[in-house]
Structure 1
């Protein structure tokens, strides 16, 4: 009679590893599914926000055209405001990226400490 049956031990270890790998696969599928769902929701919200912004912008441009009794100045003014906003973002892009990275790092550290 053997004290240890290495064949059964190896089978049990192999079964354990296979089960662990399958569990990791299922967890990965679940996380990927959640990520896809969150991404889809964010994209739909962004699309809705862009549509709202577009129509408000067009409305403002037409309103300015009526107030200025012009056909183009409302669009020029609204376009200039967006141009200034975009230029400001471009100039401050490094600072904005640094702030975002710092916040993400703080969130990750906060989660790992809990």
Structure 2
């Protein structure tokens, strides 16, 4: 039975076609692996960069806030008023975001959906 099958494959030259097809699939798989590695490396590099920028921005904001609070303390001649003013500067937007968080979330979700649809085209 095997002999007949081999004879038919050789007769129809399917053996070479099967070899070429399997080689093609192996090559495509390797290409896919390389592309995935490149994409992962790109995403990791971007994540690291964004993390560093966020960390440095937070540190800048922290030291700027403390400096502004000290300046306001000296300007107002009160030992605590500057800290309360700076806390209020951060507290008011926080309260506004808490009150309107659902509306803001829906608008952001709608914007992101529209942006993703535009990228698909």
TM-score, normalised via structure 1 length: 0.84
Q: Which 5+ residue runs of structure 2 have no aligned equivalent?
A: 1-6
Q: Which residue of 1 aligns with 2:111?
A: 103
How far apart, CA to CA, are the structure 2 residues paired with 1:22 and 1:103?
37
Alignment root-mean-square deviation, CA:
1.9
Give every structure 1 segment of 4 or more consecutive aligned residues whose post-TM-superposition deviation is greater than 6 Å. Answer: none
How far apart, CA to CA, are the structure 1 residues paired with 2:73 and 2:24?
73
Whether 1:4 aligns to 2:12 is yes
Alignment of 1:37-48 (within 5 A): 37-48=45-56
Q: Which piece of structure 1 moves more, 35-44 or 97-106?
A: 97-106
Count of residues in Structure 1 that have an aligned counterpart in Structure 2:
113
SS of the equivalent of 1:61 reads helix
Name the CA shift for 1:23/1:68 in 2 (closer, same or farther; >3 Å): same
Which structure's CA Rg is the greater one?
A: 2
Deviation, structure 1 residue 101: 2.4
Whether 1:54 aligns to 2:54 is no
- The equivalent position to 1:85 in structure 2, one of 82, 93, 97, is 93
TM-score, normalised via structure 2 length: 0.80
Q: Which piece of structure 1 moves more, 65-74 or 103-112?
A: 103-112
Q: Which residue of 2 aligns with 1:65?
A: 73
- Give a deviation string over 1:6-52, Cα, whole Å, max 9, x none: 22222221111111111111111111111111111111111222122
Q: Which residue of 1 aligns with 2:34?
A: 26
